[in-house]
Structure 1
């Protein structure tokens, strides 16, 4: 049975020379797109796997995350890894448990929005992992925190491609400058820009940058940027009343080793905006 090509593969087959298309599609990485189960723009729909906003379900002994000196964090999203059904990803994501994402958001921060990106700013974002079967209950928001609007999320597989800042198309054809690129390059890049939904919530795969490649600026000398993979990205989504500073996106990155060890406390946060 012939395998169905993903949208990026179809674009590559339509716009790139055969050899170039093969080399470019080798860069694709599987991910899970998080979308509304009733979103008619989505080609697929499925059971609920989590939600944006609303109130989190926490174990009784788990305190609400706080950034000391700045106050409690806002609850952003919950994703059930068990409900994802062992999605075919290329990162060692557990197949059970729940991930909860929090971020500090409000006046006095960068752009009156999310925390800065240095070591201090990392205290303004958190990922909590709740093992499967742990008793949990919905937790009311602390004083001063207004919950985001709750939006249910379902999941569908997608193939993701590297941002143009992370991989230059000219490397496939030996081009040194923009002027050296073949005519098909601009057409292909424009087609990629038009691919996909306006709102991109994602688990795994390549991150979708707002201002170019997504990376970490505060790695230590003994840390390799290639060890880090995307855990999750949460986009601006007005359905949930979320706007991360001028249509921004939140990203949580983690090393493969920490992910395999379920050491989600080691995940690091970054963000971009227009």
Structure 2
């Protein structure tokens, strides 16, 4: 994984301080540099296109408000001004300019949703817009409270669902000591409401498999081996491509529950938006997958 020199240095220092030298190569190879966004001040809507969570988006004139299968307006979740994020992702996977908009329908294991991209040219016609009717979430929860966002680069190590425990364990170090290392890297900063490009929160580490199955029209399964078999069949026997599609899947955004905003995904869970790595690099956001996790 690509890390900035600063974050690579931080990780190496934490590895030494917490005596995980035996897992040094594993941790360096599995660490992901993420973009974290924390809530700032309540949104005042003075700047068209500014990054914000909840409230009302600044949609281009010709962009329709997304609706679910029943014709109800989806809930606006997140707006990102992409030039505010430049330099935070060393892999430069996002378009340099423009805006991304995230919408969600009512949540189940899979969520109706839309991710919209607007170019700088399209944003010239953008204006603050209210939903055409109460959205699917706000019918039950009332209007969410909008906040501006501050972005920073951060580090993400594999959590329980993604961790190779054998790689980090020895006679003196195990899961509890590994958690201490993670807490060290999180520093004394506010917990982000949005995380991009990291590991999905969850217990099973199967989100990328589920995303690939859905995006390629395969029946869902919680068995990773069976998922690869189904994808291989969908690709005409090309197992290498099946494995590559899963490994290249990117968590575009993880959006947390937050009391200040009013977000409550299940039992204080999170929304996950996934995209194929190839589509992301091409700036194509038409094919995405959205799910939620709640413990």
Pairwise CA distance, 1:172: 5.2
Bigger share in helix: 2
Q: Deviations over 1:7-54 (max 9, x none)?
A: 554432222342422431232111111013469xxxxxxxx9511111
CA change 1:87–1:126 in 2 (3 A) is: same
Counterpart residue number, 1:209: 201
- Provide the TM-score with structure 2 as the length reference: 0.74
Q: Secondary structure at the match of 2:260?
A: helix
Pairwise CA distance, 1:133: 3.0
Which has the bigger relative contact order, CA under 8 A and spacing at least 6?
1
Q: Secondary structure at the match of 1:67?
A: coil
1:159-238 to 2 correspondence within 5 Å? 159-171=155-167, 181-192=170-181, 194=183, 196=186, 197-204=190-197, 206-213=198-205, 214-217=207-210, 219=213, 220=218, 221=231, 222=235, 223=242, 224-238=245-259
Pairwise CA distance, 1:156: 0.7
1:32-43 to 2 correspondence within 5 Å? 32-37=35-40
Q: Secondary structure at the match of 1:128?
A: strand
CA change 1:61–1:200 in 2 (3 A) is: closer
Counterpart residue number, 1:71: 72
Unaligned runs of 5+ in 2: 43-48, 219-230, 236-241
Answer yes or no: is 1:20 the counterpart of 2:23: yes
Q: Secondary structure at the match of 1:11?
A: helix
Q: Deviations over 1:176-231 (max 9, x none)?
A: xxxxx422123422314645354441122x22413342334261413431120111
CA change 1:251–1:7 in 2 (3 A) is: farther
Counterpart residue number, 1:110: none
For the residues of structure 2 that align with 1:98 and 1:6, how far apart are their CA atoms? 32
Question: 1:54·1:75 contact (CA, 8 Å) conserved in 2?
Answer: yes
For the residues of structure 2 that align with 1:13 and 1:200, how far apart are their CA atoms? 30
Counterpart residue number, 2:227: none
- Provide the TM-score with structure 1 as the length reference: 0.79
Question: 1:6·1:158 contact (CA, 8 Å) conserved in 2?
Answer: no
CA change 1:247–1:192 in 2 (3 A) is: farther
1:97-136 to 2 correspondence within 5 Å? 97-105=98-106, 114-117=107-110, 121=111, 124-134=112-122, 135-136=125-126
Question: 1:201·1:235 contact (CA, 8 Å) conserved in 2?
Answer: yes
Pairwise CA distance, 1:115: 3.2
Q: Secondary structure at the match of 2:273?
A: strand
Unaligned runs of 5+ in 1: 40-47, 106-113, 174-180
What root-mean-square deviation, in Å, do the aligned CA atoms of Structure 1 and Structure 2 show? 2.6
Which sits farther off after the overlay, 247-256 or 144-153? 144-153
For the residues of structure 2 that align with 1:126 and 1:192, how far apart are their CA atoms? 36
